[in-house]
């Protein structure tokens, strides 16, 4: 009976996992604001962590597609340092010093934002990518500090950038508030910049939705893999 109960619990967790998934990564590990709990309160299975290498970050992003199909809704939050060039932008893994990297080496210790956007764009009911930037004093040869221009955003997703403290407030009070529209919320937060899907009247979380119990991301993932 205990085995049956365990299997049933895992199966019941599966639909929530399939519906909403998020990746939250905070580099470096010493981070003053936790960005994951607000997502968990809205039924998102949250993957990621703090102080992750490029390989660990890619593994977390792969969880968004773990069952061979994207989640209905996807949120990706990347907090830390970014660099860019004319060819694209990258989010740095733990311990990577932007001044020691060049356009030839950056791919080894960072993840390409273009790939993050493409993964998010697979979500049929909408996706938001949030970039919480920390200051980069200098970047290596062929690179410049920061995300750069928000360009070449795939259809159907919203990309938002800004300081981490402002991003944390936006997630908790605006993005995940039932019925709140991105268009209006961003208009009230001039320190945030956005690109992509920004339709007036479009709410990421439907109006009237009650808070959901936190999803155990590990159990939900195991349910998919079982």
Q: Is residue 210 part of a domain?
A: no
Distance CA 134, CA 137 (A): 10
The CATH number for 21's domain is 3.40.50
Distance CA 12, CA 74 (A): 20
Q: What is the value of pTM for the model shown?
A: 0.83
pLDDT digits (tens, 9 = 90+) for 76-115: 999 999 999 998 999 999 988 888 889 999 989 999 999 9
Q: How many CA atoms lie within 13 A of 71 on its CB side?
A: 32
- What value, to the nearest 5°, has the Cα angle with vertex 50 and ends 107 and 106? 10
Q: Is residue 221 part of a domain?
A: no
Beta bridge partners of 133: 80, 163
- Tokens representing 152? 């070449």
Per the structure, the complete domain to which residue 80 belongs is given by 2-164
pLDDT digits (tens, 9 = 90+) for 106-133: 989 999 999 999 999 999 888 999 999 9
The total of structural domains in the chain comes to: 1
Beta strands in the chain (DSSP E): 20-26, 45-50, 73-80, 82-85, 88-92, 110-112, 127-133, 144-145, 157-163, 193-196
């Amino acid at each position: 009976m205990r085995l049956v109960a365990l299997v049933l619990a895992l199966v019941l967790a599966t639909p929530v996992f399939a519906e909403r998934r998020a990746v939250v990564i905070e580099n470096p590990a010493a981070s003053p604001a936790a960005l994951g709990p607000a997502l968990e309160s809205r039924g998102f299975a949250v993957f990621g962590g703090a102080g992750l290498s490029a390989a660990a970050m890619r593994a977390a992003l792969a969880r968004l597609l773990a069952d061979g199909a994207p989640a209905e809704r996807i949120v990706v939050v990347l907090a830390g340092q970014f660099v860019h060039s004319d060819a694209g932008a990258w989010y740095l893994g733990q311990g990577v010093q932007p001044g020691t990297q060049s356009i030839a080496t950056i791919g080894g210790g960072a993840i390409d934002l273009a790939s993050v956007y493409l993964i998010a764009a697979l979500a049929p009911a909408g996706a938001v990518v949030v970039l919480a930037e920390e200051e980069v004093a200098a970047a290596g040869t062929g690179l410049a500090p920061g995300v750069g221009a928000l360009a070449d955003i795939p259809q159907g997703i919203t990309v938002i950038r800004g300081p981490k403290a402002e991003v944390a407030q936006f997630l908790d009070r605006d993005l995940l508030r039932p019925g709140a529209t991105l268009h209006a919320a961003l208009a009230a937060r001039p320190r945030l910049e956005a690109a992509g899907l920004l339709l007036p009247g479009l709410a990421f979380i439907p109006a009237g939705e009650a808070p959901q119990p936190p999803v155990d991301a590990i159990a939900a993932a195991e349910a998919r893999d079982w």
